[in-house]
A and B are shown apart, each in its own frame.
Chain A
Amino acid sequence: MEILAVKDLSFSYPTCSEAALTDVSFSLEQGEFAVLCGATGSGKSTLLRMLKRELSPLGKMIGDVTFSGTPLDKLNDKVSASAIGFVMQDPEQQIVTDKVWHELAFGLENLAVPPADIARRVAEMASYFGIGSWYDKDVSQLSGGQKQLLNLAAVLVMQPELLILDEPTAQLDPIAASDFIATIKRLNQELGITIIIAEHRLEDVIPICDRLLVMEKGTLIADGRPEHVISEIRGRDDIMCGMPAAARLYTALNSGDSCPLTVRDGRSFVTENYRNDVRALERENAAPKTSPALSFRDVYFRYERNSPDILSALTFDINEGEIFCILGGNGSGKTTSVSAAAGINKPYSGTIRVFGKKLKDYKNRSLYRECLALLPQDVTTVFLRNTVREELQDAGASSEELPYDISHLLDKHPYDLSGGEKQLVALAKVLASKPKLLLLDEPTKGMDAAVKQNIIAVLRELRSQGITLAVVTHDVEFAALCADRCAMFFGGRIVSIGTPDRFFSENNFYTTAVSRMTRGFYDNAVTLPDAVELCRLNGKREA
């Protein structure tokens, strides 16, 4: 049965000459799991918001959207609010109330459900989601992943038939994101809820979806089963770069018959089709060691007198002129270590040296002038002005000196930019103090694959200008592509360190999808180009 039908939908925002959506048509069957992908600004969010009446933006709309046979604007208020659930990107800002239980009850309270029914449905939902143990907590005590699960649960208590998710995992770390996706899958399979989700993190969702919709510049350019869609768009590198590694390997090698989507399928695709006479690629030896730009010696830090150590006996060096990636799980001390290096967190023991000089010898904040700069995780905290132009003037930066172009953004409000644009503008502001050592905290959070490629290029360009970069990241694929050396944090110290090819081929779980696909078959294939080259070198197996 058809639950949602979109017919010839066009839409344009009042102040925009270009249409945000043009002639979009598709329909969803009851119980389908659809993934909507496309570059930032391709109209995904606009389309999803058009499917939920309460959130439809103002503007000129042509065409119709029907839900279970009824046009959206004819739906009863209560049905419209409860039958179509919508989860947005930011975990924090969607939460309305201060307590977990109250947030769960919020939607039902709005619909005037009797209190006894609310109590039952909330309790039921809390047990289904395993929220029981934090049911009484303050919302501010939850982690990002828990907050997003709470948002999902708060929508689900209203018993929606259609669930719309707009990049729900963009602000989460990979573990929390996988948990979230697994929950979505469970909802789809156990409760038969129809799902449409816009995502950047396609590695996890594509293998479990029934439909893949691809958008570009406000139009739907592909719609179908994921394998078919991928073979349709195989020539389009800008779209393909976000697809699962197995699918990218398959299209890059241009062989085989069915497109693999998971690591498991990708593994059998490689082992069945290719020989492995040449097991490893020749690598250049690591660059000669230069003097350290940043060095930690036995650094200990804790937030409060009686809390546990966040950094314990942390010792490492970052060499001048390298890109150093710091990886590790949540709470392993990654972010704390860079903010200690920037002098925000003061360790209670040990020394930190920046270019050979102790941190406390940088008097009168000279550390932040032409020496070191930190770009925090939440880049909106960098902005203080109303336009990008004022922002840059303030910092004394000029947009011409940058290794990338942001001149088209100058008159926008910094808060209106997309995640990738914000990152670039913030970086421009930080670069104005001419740092020699740049610390970046999660620069690729919430970005699509194409924007990530752009960030990697920018970081490489900065390195070639002689800037040392320390990058904290959760994103192993990103680290594998851009790092000179990687380090793994665990329990407040570094447990392993090395060049990406050694580092990731020694790790078994915490490694790239390509490395997991070729483990034991090839020795040091870490990134997609590595795997493609090895496969080509070895050649196909005789049938």
Chain B
Amino acid sequence: MRRFSELNPLAATVYFFCVTGIAMFSSYPPLMIVALLGGVLFFIVRNGSSHMRSHLFFLLLFIILAAANPLMSHNGITVLFVMNDNPITLEATLYGLNSAAMIIGVLYWFRSFTQIMTSEKLLYITGALSPKLSLVLSMALRYVPLFSKQSKKIKDSQTAMGLFSDDNIIDDIRGRMRIFSILITWALENGITTADSMTARGYGVCRRTQLKRFTFRRGDILLLVTSLLLTAITAAALSLGKLDFSFYPAVRYSAPDALGICGIAAYSALVLLPVIIETEVSLKWKYLLSRI
């Protein structure tokens, strides 16, 4: 009984790439709508009513993106109205809406993805590719806060010693440049000790292994298999041309046959998968808690 965010990162990553991959490589409007709604729904299920401001921002972005296309592109045969001697067409408007839905949908999926993929999970995934790469990443992640902390310390002590003698910008910039240059020296100096500490603990003696904090359990395999299967169905429908939709010069599409409908259904199921998992876990929790 694990939440979506607690599942194996590898499975979760595969899932995210399936969802966003289909959204990015097709332009079939129903799939775009599903991706957008699913992305927003999943984000809200995870975060509740917080992040209201950012929702507003994305709404604004959606409107701008959707409006940009008909204003720039005048393809299409159905003219809605004419603005500044430029025709605004129905086709371009629909195309704009469709691509805005795709972009915002993918952005929402990535917002959830970055929330779920903590640094630790990223290291696990890179470790699966190469343990060395993962170590480099881990060291980099350690150095960033260390660097900014030291930079603030140097700035404070230099301020108290009168390095920034006047309140003017040029002096400030010159002071900051000097702080930056000594920071590099400090980092190199620091690096020697860290390197010593690494060799002292046998770095480079033989091929590294990696402590894995995540294992593949039943739920992870299930998620992996399900998402690949559902993606395969949709991909099949897409590649066999069952889900064709063209905007220019006039909107033209064929009604989907059985495989096409399967493809849409499979993608909808794929998009709803995490929401289903979250809801199931919450309900189970409620039930289990009621028995304590």
Cβ B193 vs Cβ A90 within 8 A: yes
Complex Cα gap A264–B140 (Å): 49
Given A95-B142, A343-B160, A382-B157, do A54 and B209 touch, yes or no (CB 8 Å)? no
Write the nearest CB–CB distance from A353 to chain B, whole angstroms: 17
Residue of B nearest to A371 (CB): B162
A112-120, A167-175, A282-290, A448-456 - the one binding chain B: A112-120
Interface residues, chain A, with chain B CB atoms under 8 Å away: 52, 54-55, 77-78, 81-82, 86, 88, 90, 92-99, 101-102, 105-115, 118-119, 122, 138-140, 151, 154-155, 158, 339, 342-344, 364-365, 368-369, 373-376, 378, 380-386, 395, 415, 429-430, 433
Distance of A119 Cα from B206 Cα, bound (Å):
19
How far is it, in angstroms, between the C-alpha of A93 and the C-alpha of B193 when the chains are bound? 6
Number of interface residues of B (CB under 8 A): 55
* Shortest beta-carbon distance from A336 to chain B in Å: 12
7 pairs, CB–CB < 8 Å, chain A vs chain B: A97-B135, A111-B205, A114-B209, A118-B209, A339-B156, A382-B161, A415-B186
Q: Are A93 and B197 neighbours in the complex by a CB distance under 8 Å?
A: yes
Q: How far is the CB of B128 from chain A (nearest CB, A)?
A: 12
Whether A112 pairs with B208 at a CB distance below 8 angstroms is: yes
Say if the beta carbon of B179 comes within 8 Å of chain A. yes
Once bound together, how far apart are the Cα atoms of A395 and B189, in whole Å? Answer: 23
Which of B156, B163, B167, B207 contacts A112 (CB under 8 A)?
B207
Our pick among B150, B161, B196 for the contact of A368 (Cβ within 8 Å) is B161
- Docked-complex contact B193 and A98, CB < 8 angstroms: no
Contact assessment for B210 and A81 in the assembled complex, using a CB-CB cutoff below 8 Å: no
User: Assuming A55-B199, A110-B206, what are 9 further A-B pairs, CB within 8 angstroms?
Assistant: A55-B196, A93-B190, A102-B138, A112-B206, A112-B208, A138-B145, A139-B142, A381-B154, A384-B179
> Which chain A residues border B120 with CB–CB below 8 Å?
99
Alpha-carbon distance A381/B178, docked complex (angstroms): 12
Distance between B185 CB and nearest chain A CB, rounded to angstroms: 7
List residues of chain B with CB within 8 A of the CB of A86. 200
**Given contacts A88-B196, A92-B146, A342 and B160 within 8 Å (CB-CB):** yes
Determine if B160 and A54 form an interchain contact, defined as CB atoms under 8 angstroms apart.
no
Contacts of B162 in A (CB 8 A): 365, 368-369, 373, 433
**Which residue in A82, A102, A154, A376 is a CB contact (below 8 Å) of B211?**
A102
A78 touches B205 (CB 8 A): yes
Report the minimum CB–CB distance from A262 to chain B (whole Å). Answer: 33
B161 in contact with A110 (CB, 8 Å): no
Cβ contacts under 8 Å, B208 to chain A: 109-110, 112
Contact, CB under 8 Å: B205 / A77: yes
Question: Closest residue to B205 on the A side, CB-wise?
Answer: A77
Q: Which residue of B lies closest to A93 (CB)?
A: B193
**CA gap between A415 and B203 in the complex, in Å:** 26
Residues of A within 8 A of B282 (CB): none
| CB-based closest 6 A-B pairs | A81-B202, A368-B162, A374-B160, A107-B201, A98-B142, A93-B193
With A81-B200, A378-B153 given, is the CB distance from A109 to B145 under 8 Å? Answer: no
Residues in A with CB closer than 8 Å to B205 are 77-78, 81, 110-111
User: Is B79 an interface residue, CB under 8 A from the partner?
Assistant: no
In the complex, whether B198 has a CB less than 8 A from a CB of chain A is: yes
Given contact pairs A77-B202, A93-B194, A365-B167, A109 touches B209 in the complex (Cβ within 8 A): yes
A493 to chain B minimum Cβ distance, whole angstroms, is 23
